Amino acid sequence: MGLSYFAIIVMIILALGVAGFMLFVAFFLGPRRPGIQKMSVYECGIEPKEEARTRIPVKFFLIAILFILFDIEVIFLYPWAVLFQRLGWFGLIEMLFFLMILGLGYIYLYKKGAFEWD
């Protein structure tokens, strides 16, 4: 059992060793030229106007999660499209059922006002 994991353990040790070596070399051999510009706060090229720890509306996170949810659901269409001919009618009916459930969820969220930005 232990011998079967030997290659994985060696690979992890090798990866950690290479990463550690690269960090070590970059830390000791890399240039250090601190200045006013490098030490200043950088936020998309704009001077910050308020504190970084401001309150963000929950609606923003809800929209973001819904976007990711529907985006991931669309990803399931790709393998189906690739195997469409081999799946036949069964695959078509299953995908239509899947899209119907997805559409019902979308309609439910639309009626609840989840997509409206206040």
What is the mean pLDDT for each group of 10 consecutive residues in the chain (118 residues)? 82 96 92 78 68 78 83 84 87 90 88 79
pLDDT of residue 43: 60
Full-model pTM: 0.47
Please give the CATH number for the structural domain made up of 6-112: 1.20.58
pLDDT of residue 56: 79
pLDDT of residue 118: 67
Closest CA to 108 of 69, 56, 61: 69
